[in-house]
Amino acid sequence: MTAWFSQHGRSVAQTLQRFARTPLGSVLNILVIGIALSLPAGLYLVIDNLKSASHQFATDPQVSVFMALDADHTEVARVAVRLKQNPRVQSFKLVSRDQALQELRQSSGLGDVVDSLPRNPLPDAYVVNSKDNSPQALEALRDEMAQWPRVAHVQLDAAWARRLDAVLRLAQLIVAGLGVLLAVALLAITFNTIRLQVLTRRDEIEVIKLIGATDAYIRRPFLYYGALQGCAGGLVAWLIISGGVWLVNHNLGELSHVYASLFAFKSLALTDSIFLLLIPGLLGWIGARLSVGRHLALIASK
Amino acid sequence: MITLSHVSKRYPGGYQALIDIGFAIETGEMVFIVGHSGAGKTTLLKLLAAIERPTSGSVVVNGQNVGALKPLAVPFLRRNFGLVFQDHKLLFDRNVFENVALPLQIMGYARNESARRVRAALDKVGLLKYEKSFPITLSGGEQQRLCIARAIVHRPAFLLADEPTGSLDAEYATEIGDLFRSFNQVGVTVVIATHDQTLQARLSPRVIALKQGALAL
């Protein structure tokens, strides 16, 4: 058991020596892998962020009913009665035009513009929650309410969120495809790196085979090399992404203040970070295993 | 103990290297395999260490049929042998100590035990003071002795040497010959393929002569 550990320890040490012996080549390889990985991982993160934002809306869909600008109080109140009687409406809330103007002034930072308006351009509006949140029910409710007198416009607030959700699902598929392609690229990079190493260490391999090294012993430092190179690439990708998130959050301070709940850009979760380190390591190991197996067989056959 | 019976080796392409060879080498013997270049000496050594496999016949080492070994078992068979090569096959990116430590590393020796044995082997061949040097800085005779240190560091039962004095001048050759004799005296079975007459005269071993791939009597 101690022999086993010391052999593996030595293999790791040997592997690190190999990295150190060709520092430029190793660093460039790791950078290539890191940058390649940061693409799908970064896109995944962007989509994840947008999704959680769109979910906030999509799960609590509201219907906004805008009254005509010149509708008077009784006409607005009559719509409230209809809403109260409608079996499909769960709850509703009046946002009066004064109230809406007040909110706009406070939340958008457009106070000066709002103040300079000669008169309030906003209509009275109801924010309605439907009992049934399925898209069909919401659309039916919208069509019904649009027929009511003095109602100017009915809008499904969640519609854009739902559309975004659909687009994001497609984008996710594309990122998954990109991820698969880059995984193959990582395999190819590792395969080639290890191929060159096996060829330059051909004499050494032949000698240690002659003095009784098993194939497992010969393979081990190459496998460690592949795995460590993959992990290092994953680490580079993680740094690129974390740096990117920091830059976004730092520079968009103004914007994120305004859209506080929406665009506080989240970084990679712990489990995602661990995957980002381990999966490239595993892929590197596999690439190295394929390469070293093939090239050892070639050496043995000569 | 090594036993060969009816061993033939034909290389792909039709070259017949060995024809119907049969002999036995007892444990603790010193044996020279002699003959002209191309007589099949090197091929014979390669068959013993499972570097080549016989086309027909059987090579039995310590009760194991070498020709029928599974690939996974070959490394473990090779650990019974110390191999000395004419071209040394040293690793030039490692120093003297690391070259000799290689077999022990492969066999998983602990670092302390390994260092102790490496120093003993280097002391035996007179290279202890060059421990930290790189092989490229050593003379031809020193490189050959380094190769011998690597071959005996794991205390193999058999020492196989292919033309160990082939590229050396007479003085070095004598030193090397004495080294082989000292290993043989502590019980190692020594098999040397050579056409060096002076070495043969000095060590007066049992001789197996080959002529064009067959045993010459």
pLDDT digits (tens, 9 = 90+) for A184-233: 999 999 999 999 989 988 888 999 999 999 999 999 999 999 999 999 99
Of A2, A211, A217, the CB nearest to B78: A211
Find which of A8, A207, A211 to mutate to test the B interface (most B CBs within 10 Å of its CB): A211
Are residue A244 and residue A178 in the same domain, yes or no? yes
Measured distance CA(A28)–CA(A18) in Å, rounded: 14
- Asked if B4 and B58 touch (Cβ cutoff 8 Å), the reply is yes
Are residue A169 and residue A113 in the same domain, yes or no? no
Are residue A239 and residue A186 in the same domain, yes or no? yes
Note the pLDDT tens digit of each residue in A17-68. 888 888 888 899 999 999 999 999 999 888 888 877 776 666 667 788 888 8
Range of the domain at A144: 61-157
Determine what percent of chain A is predicted with pLDDT higher than 70.
Answer: 89
Of B76, B183, B33, residue with least CA distance to A211: B76
Sign of the dihedral defined by the CA atoms of residues A26, A29, A32, A36, in that order: negative
Question: First and final CA of chain A: distance in angstroms?
Answer: 35
- Check residue A3 and give its pLDDT: 67
Note the pLDDT tens digit of each residue in A73-120. 888 888 888 888 888 888 888 888 888 888 777 766 677 777 788 888
3-state secondary structure of B215: strand
Find which of B107, B150, B154, B155 to mutate to test the A interface (most A CBs within 10 Å of its CB): B107
- Average pLDDT in the A147-168 region? 79
Measured distance CA(B215)–CA(B57) in Å, rounded: 15
Q: What is the CATH number of the domain that holds A135?
A: 3.30.70.3040
The strand order across the sheet containing A151-156 reads: A89-95, A125-130, A62-67, A151-156
CA distance A29 to chain B (A): 23
Q: In chain A, how many domains are there?
A: 2
Cβ A210–B91 below 8 Å, yes or no? no
A203 interfacial to chain B (CB closer than 8 Å): yes
- Asked if B141 and B172 touch (Cβ cutoff 8 Å), the reply is yes
Measured distance CA(B75)–CA(A204) in Å, rounded: 15
Q: How far is CA A185 from CA A24, A190, B18, in A?
A: 20, 9, 50
Nearest CA in chain B to A214: B75
Are residue A70 and residue A31 in the same domain, yes or no? no
- Phi, psi (5° rounding) for residue B108? 80, 30
CA distance A12 to chain B (A): 14
- Asked if A141 and A88 touch (Cβ cutoff 8 Å), the reply is yes
With a CB-CB cutoff of 8 Å, which residues 212-251 of chain A face chain B?
212-215, 217
DSSP conformation letters of B34-87? E-STTSSHHHHHHHHTTSS--SEEEEEETTEEGGG--GGGHHHHHTTEEEE-TT
Measured distance CA(A62)–CA(A127) in Å, rounded: 7
Strands B2-10 and A125-130, by their bridges, are unpaired
Are residue A235 and residue A109 in the same domain, yes or no? no
For helices B96-107 and B140-152, angle between their N-to-C axes, nearest 10 degrees: 20
Of A259, A51, A210, residue with least CA distance to B106: A210
- Reported as type and span, the H/E element at residue A25 is helix A23-58
Measured distance CA(A76)–CA(A92) in Å, rounded: 13
Are residue A13 and residue A69 in the same domain, yes or no? no
Beta bridge mates, A95: A125
The burial of B95, by beta-carbon neighbours within 10 Å (0-12 exposed, 13-18 middle, 19 or more buried), is given as middle
Are residue A151 and residue A167 in the same domain, yes or no? no
Per-state percent for chain A, helix, strand, coil, to nearest 5: 75, 10, 20
Last residue of a domain, one of A157, A185, A210: A157
CA distance B110 to chain A (A): 6
Are residue A185 and residue A112 in the same domain, yes or no? no
Last residue of a domain, one of A109, A139, A157: A157
| Contact list, B105 vs chain A (CB under 8 Å) | 7, 10
pLDDT higher than threshold 80 for residue A165: no
- Check residue A190 and give its pLDDT: 92
Are residue A96 and residue A214 in the same domain, yes or no? no
A32 interfacial to chain B (CB closer than 8 Å): no
Are residue A197 and residue A295 in the same domain, yes or no? yes
3-state secondary structure of B169: coil
Sign of the dihedral defined by the CA atoms of residues B212, B19, B73, A3, in that order: negative
Q: How confident is the model at residue A180 (pLDDT cuts 50, 70, 90)?
A: very high
Are residue A76 and residue A114 in the same domain, yes or no? yes
- Measured in residues, chain A has a length of 302
Of B51, B72, B93, the CB nearest to A210: B51
Question: Digits of tens for pLDDT over chain B (217 positions)?
Answer: 899 999 999 998 889 999 999 999 999 999 999 988 888 899 999 999 988 999 999 999 999 999 888 988 999 999 999 999 888 899 998 999 999 999 999 998 888 999 999 999 999 999 999 999 999 999 888 999 999 999 999 999 999 999 888 777 788 888 888 999 999 999 999 999 998 888 888 888 999 999 988 998 6
- Check residue B130 and give its pLDDT: 95
Largest CA distance in chain A: 101
Question: First and final CA of chain B: distance in angstroms?
Answer: 22
Find which of B106, B114, B152, B155 to mutate to test the A interface (most A CBs within 10 Å of its CB): B106
Of A4, A10, A210, the CB nearest to B83: A210
Last residue of a domain, one of A132, A157, A182: A157
CA distance A7 to chain B (A): 6
Are residue A185 and residue A111 in the same domain, yes or no? no
